[in-house]
Amino acid sequence: MFRLSREVRFAINAQPDAQLSGRPSNAYGGFPSLTGLGHYFTLEVTLSGALDAASQYVRNIKDIDDAVRRLAIGRIERHIRERTFGGGAQVVVELFGILRDAWPGATLEQLKWGLSPFLHYAVRAEDFQPDRPEHSMVRLSQKFEFSASHRLHNPSLSDQANRDTFGKCNNPHGHGHNYEVQVTLAGEPDAGGVLVDVPVFERIVAEAAIDRFDHKNLNVELPEFEDVIPSVENIARAIYRLLKPRFSDSRGKLASVTVWETPKTSCEYSE
Ligand SMILES: Nc1nc2c(c(=O)[nH]1)N=C([C@H](O)[C@H](O)COP(=O)(O)OP(=O)(O)OP(=O)(O)O)CN2
Ligand SMILES: [Zn+2]
């Protein structure tokens, strides 16, 4: 199956502006452009489908940009200006309902709405309830970071086997990373479009995981890694297991944890 994703970047400025009725410009930074004080958003559309015979596209990305600008931006703008935005989760469900028929022949698999570079909502096709959209499941993800050192070493292997397996990451003195962590909660938002109180969510993640890991030698200072190699896979699982019970009574239950060890290496864990 092909899954094509396209991110549309746009601003909703403090004052109504005429940009949307003109020709798109500065597509990299977003259109409409942010002219000063306002909101900068991203909407990432993921479509699945067969390839068009002539273009070999699932869909022309310009069709995606066009439909998002035509159908979604004005809707978001109205919610902001009429103060019906609430927590925003009901808005992403509404947008999914509007956009799912925008590209006939292709299936809208996921709509991901970036409220900041770090915080986003997402609705997936399998979680959308067309007859009762208010009961659709929404995912909310926030990113966190911590710095830590570690050593990749398996005590059941010889020193040589450890060096062969882990290379420079087996340095006995350890080495460090600036880890990024994305925590995703999923559930049915309340009538006000709130899945979770974001500052409360952040505080729980900080207390339960980030503050424990930050500026630590993971091998030495954390019981989670006493007998477990602190690979990015095991760090993602450890954080998931620390957080899972903390969201068991919340509307937004823990869905997954993704950890980036470097910009090139990440692992998502879920159960
Ligand atoms: N599957 C995994 N492989 C590796 C992990 C891991 O957690 N899971 N971790 C490491 C090391 O922690 C290492 O520090 C990663 O750095 P490096 O090998 O330098 O990788 P970079 O992407 O930063 O740099 P390149 O030299 O460009 O590869 C290794 N493997
Ligand atoms: Zn490392």
**Mutation probe of ligand 1 site: the residue of 151, 154, 169, 170 with most atoms within 8 A of C-beta:** 169
Q: Is the peptide bond before 32 cis (omega within 30 degrees of 0)?
A: yes
73-84, pLDDT tens digit by residue? Answer: 999 999 999 999
Could you say which of 39, 169, 233, 267 is catalytic? 169
Which atom of ligand 1 is found nearest the CA of 235? 7
For the cut 90, the answer to whether the pLDDT of residue 146 exceeds it is yes
Q: What is the full DSSP assignment across 167-194?
A: GGGG-TT-EEEEEEEEEEEEE---TTS-
DSSP annotation of 220 reads: H
169 is catalytic: yes
**Mutation probe of ligand 1 site: the residue of 162, 177, 235, 265 with most atoms within 8 A of C-beta:** 265
User: Cα of 108 to ligand 1 centre, how many Å?
Assistant: 35
For the cut 80, the answer to whether the pLDDT of residue 27 exceeds it is no
For the cut 90, the answer to whether the pLDDT of residue 104 exceeds it is yes
Neighbour count for residue 112 (Cβ, 10 Å): 19
Could you say which of 145, 175, 207, 215 is catalytic? 215
Say what the ipTM of the complex is: 0.96
* Same domain, yes or no: 248 and 265: yes
* Same domain, yes or no: 253 and 191: yes
215 is catalytic: yes
Calpha distance 268→7 (Å, rounded): 21
* Same domain, yes or no: 156 and 264: yes
Structural domain including 168 reads 140-269
Pocket of ligand 1 (CB under 6 A): 152, 169, 175, 231-233, 261-262, 264-265
Confidence (pLDDT) at 216: 98
Strand partners, 217: 149
User: Cα of 7 to ligand 1 centre, how many Å?
Assistant: 28
DSSP annotation of 52 reads: P
Contact 195, 89 (CB under 8 A): yes
Could you tell me the CATH number of the domain that includes residue 254? Answer: 3.30.479.10
Q: Is the peptide bond before 117 cis (omega within 30 degrees of 0)?
A: no
* Same domain, yes or no: 255 and 179: yes
Place of tokens 């259109």: 31
Model confidence at 196, pLDDT cuts 50, 70, 90, reads: very high
User: Cα of 166 to ligand 1 centre, how many Å?
Assistant: 9
**pLDDT > 70 fraction of the chain, expressed in percent and rounded:** 100
Q: Which of 131, 155, 180 is the last residue of a domain?
A: 131
Rounded to 5 degrees, what are φ and ψ at 188? -95, 120
* Residues contacting 47, CB < 8 A, separation 6+: 3, 4, 5, 6, 58, 59, 64, 103, 106, 107, 108, 109
Contact 6, 52 (CB under 8 A): no
